[in-house]
Structure 1
Amino acid sequence: MMGTKLKVSSILFMLCASSWAFADQHDDIIWGVNVSPPFHIWQGEYEHEGFCDTLVDTFERELPALSQSTRKLPSRRITMLMRKNQHLCFPCLIKGSDYNKDFIFSDVTHAYPPHGVITTASNAQQLIKAFGEPLSFTALAQSNYRFAQPIERRYGELQPIVEDYLIPSDHFQEVSGEGAHMNLMAMIATGRIDYTLDYKMLMTYFQRTEGQTNPDFEPLVFIPIKENSDSVILGAVGCSNNQWGQHAINNMNRVIEQVKSDSDFRQSLDLWLGADRPRPEFNNRH
């Protein structure tokens, strides 16, 4: 009986400790960040030079009166805790996505070019010949080329194609773990899979940090796809949908124009998304 009581007490203590770790610790903003370059970069030549790192730094400079802290967690755990109304904000979420509908969002902070196909240079020639340029992703998804994606990755308007044709197929694979995105790039570069669907900036980071130094890696190529050629993807800060989160978002929105015009933040976006990136400086606040 005593052992049972001790076990129950231990469980309650752990639950309380866990709740306390993410409860109101007098921090006005608690950033949940994950290892996913070039969003956040934790080591190497570009350490802390991810554009989401810079976004957090910019908010900290623009809101000096607020107490802010950062917690390094896997992205799945961040969103899980946010859905449980723990006090967290994710600095680079897609605004308007059905997958993120449980959260509350700041005004737009930046915009992404649309997803495209990332493959090897040799595969690119075959894919373009078979599926056109820009590629028909719908036709490609129904072919026998091997596709992989990071676990729980979502692709907005392209997600139905992934779910209808790729996920049920024998040539679909998911990659998990902290370095999933870069491991996926290496799998493509070594021919273990044929292609993935993602932002060009992931390929850019891989090429700058690993792709040019390993002789076993074939150069990668980004191919636009026709299904989303006119799309612009809007990024924003997402916070837990509770009173704390709303207060954090209200504070961020007070300085959102200063954040978007910050020279360090713009330079970081140019570095990874390219100087020809879509720009939300047109005062798109929604």
Structure 2
Amino acid sequence: MFCFVVHAEESAPENLNWVKNDAPPFYIIRSDGQQGFGDQLQTLIEGALDNYRHNTLHVPLSRLSSSWKSYDPLCFATMIHEAPLSDDYLLSVPNAMYLPHGIITTNAFAESLSVQDDGSVSLESVISEQKTSMGHISGRTYGEKLDDILRRYRHNIEINTRAGSTETKGILTMLSQGRFDFVIDYEFVLNHYAGSDEDADQLRFLPIAETRGSFILGAVGCTNSSEGKKAIQAINKALPDIVKSRSYRRAVAAWLVPVGGEAYYWNKFDDVLKKYLGLPVRPHTTARLPLAGSE
């Protein structure tokens, strides 16, 4: 008598598309294999979602809004955690914490600005008291507070928009050449550029007074569809273990933590991000945000 054992056929993994743009140090597209923060974060999430077959597309930020439905399900690992700008995508729980944007400008333009005692400048004062020109990566937002200031004084700013490849490096190079007065970005973006471009010593970072001492949360965005919702649910389930992993902390320490402000950053990290994810919080050390330009 023969006995036949029937094995249930394993279901094939589902496809999940990811998008990257050329925006170091979030995503570093070059041949030496160095990974930016977003590259490493995406790799960690992919490793936790082994029921998916992961594909990566290289799409300029200016084309992201038109890509959500075209590549459904599509995810982007480094979005700002705020109310979505459209119904095309959904956001995960927070996955990262960034110190706030500042003004990156030339040394010459910085000398014309009124700098406060803590080293910051008021964005509203800069753009309301004079006609200015600003470099902007197409599709980029800066959080509700700064976006609102920029909208209110739009008539006083000449916007120079850059789209396509090499978005971040290109716009900082244009700034160093005096094509406009300033851009808004993170300090670690300038730090990375300073290590790779000889003209970077012409630029400096000034914290913005309106957001000084605050923070920006990052999240994964995925297509607002049934498949995108399923991906967000899986990502939300995986994020607590990812955020407490050594690999994640190494990536954060390498890119997001300011030199001299380590204790301040990790205290904020515990207060905000870990509580979102239900993770235990370490005892605090006394720390403050260092003054702009301090070691």
**Residue 264, structure 1, aligned to residue 261, structure 2:** no
The residue aligned with 2:77 is 91
Query: 1:175 Cα deviation (Å)?
Result: 1.9
The secondary structure found in structure 2 opposite 1:107 is strand
Code of the residue aligned with 1:159 in structure 2: it is D
- Structure 2 unaligned residues grouped into runs of 5+: 1-11, 279-295
Compared CA separation, residues 222 and 261, structure 1 to 2 (3 A): same
1:139 aligns with 2:164: no
Extract unaligned runs of 5+ from structure 1. Answer: 1-24
Any residues of structure 2 matched to 1:51-62 within 5 Å, and which? 51-62=37-48
TM-score with structure 2 setting the length: 0.77
Q: What corresponds to 1:110 in structure 2?
A: 96
Kindly indicate whether residue 179 of structure 2 is the aligned counterpart of residue 192 of structure 1: yes
Q: How far apart, CA to CA, are the structure 1 residues paired with 2:240 and 2:66?
A: 30
User: Match of 2:211?
Assistant: 228
Offset at residue 133 of structure 1 (A): 4.0
Aligned to 1:19: none
- For 1:231 and 1:31, locate their aligned partners in 2 and report how far apart those are by CA, in whole Å: 29
Give the whole-Å Cα distance in 2 for the aligned partners of 1:271 and 1:244: 33
Aligned residue number for residue 239 of structure 1: 222
Q: Please identify which structure carries the higher helix content.
A: 1
Q: Is the 8 A contact 2:135 2:183 kept in 1?
A: yes
Number of the residue aligned with 2:152: 164
Classify 1:67/1:251 alpha carbon distance in 2 versus 1 (closer, same or farther; 3 Å): same
- SS in structure 2 of the partner of residue 155 of structure 1: coil
Provide, for residues 64-122 of structure 1, a one-character-per-residue CA deviation record: whole Å limited to 9, x for no partner: 34322222222233332215682201111111144256422222111111111101234
Deviation string, structure 1 residues 113-154 (Cα, Å, up to 9, x no partner): 111110123432321359994211111012233322112321
Partner Cα distance (1:150, 1:115) in 2 = 14
Out of 57, 68, 80, the residue aligned to residue 71 of structure 1 is 57
For 1:244, give the aligned amino acid. E
1:196-222 deviations in whole A, cap 9, x for unaligned?
A: 111112111111111xxx2x5543211
* Alpha-carbon distance in structure 2 between the residues aligned to 1:160 and 1:132: 23
Contact 1:95/1:235 (8 A) holds in 2: yes
Measured on the aligned residues, the alpha-carbon RMSD in Å equals 2.6
Secondary structure of 2:113's aligned partner: helix
**Aligned partner letter, 2:256:** L
Structure 1 residue 39 corresponds to structure 2 residue 31: no
Which residue number in structure 1 is paired with residue 235 of structure 2?
252
* Count of residues in correspondence between the two structures: 256
- Report how far residue 258 of structure 1 moved: 1.4
Give the equivalent residue in structure 1 for 2:276.
284
Paired with 2:157 and 2:77, the residues of 1 have a C-alpha distance of 35
Structure 2 counterpart of 1:183, one-letter code: G
Matching residue of 1:13? none
Give the corresponding residue for 1:29.
16
Q: Is the 8 A contact 1:62 1:258 kept in 2?
A: no
Match of 1:50 in 2: 36
Opposite residue 111 of structure 2, the aligned amino acid is Q
Q: Within 2, Cα distance between the matches of 1:122 and 1:130?
A: 17
TM normalised by structure 1 equals 0.80
Q: Give distance in 1, aligned partners of 2:59 and 2:78.
A: 14
